[in-house]
């Protein structure tokens, strides 16, 4: 069987479940796959702005935000932005409930907790 692409979950799969480190065996496996011309994709609930260590491994394709944002190299393939009116309602509700919100873009994250 010939593989062309391999998808990896991130937290608890590529990264260790306790300290988020990336085992040397995983780093080696990713490098081996890439050397063989196999595409490596990270699929995660994380936003892309929290995937820098994976980009440093040479991973170029990301399915992030639980499928809400997909990027290959510099091309955004898929995105599901939140409607501004809905976002404003959520922000107002969080203020009323005295709850923090976290916001993420491709390059930025803000934790309002």
103 vs 4, 65, 74, 90, CA distance in Å? 34, 11, 22, 12
Task: Give the Cβ contact number of residue 54 at 10 Å.
Answer: 23
Give the span between the Cα atoms of 38 and 64, in whole angstroms. 20
Q: Which residues are catalytic?
A: 9
Closest by Cα among 21, 22, 26 to 6: 26
């Amino acid at each position: 069987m010939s593989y062309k692409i391999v998808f990896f979950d991130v937290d608890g799969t590529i990264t260790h479940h306790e300290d988020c480190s990336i085992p040397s065996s995983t780093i080696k496996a990713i490098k081996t796959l890439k050397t063989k011309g196999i595409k490596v994709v990270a699929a995660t609930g994380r936003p892309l702005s929290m995937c820098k260590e994976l980009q440093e491994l040479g991973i170029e394709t990301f399915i992030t935000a639980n499928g809400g944002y997909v990027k290959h190299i510099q091309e955004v393939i898929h995105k599901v932005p939140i409607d501004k009116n809905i976002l404003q309602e959520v922000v107002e509700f969080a203020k009323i409930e005295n709850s923090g919100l976290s916001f993420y873009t491709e390059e930025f994250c803000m934790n309002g907790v």
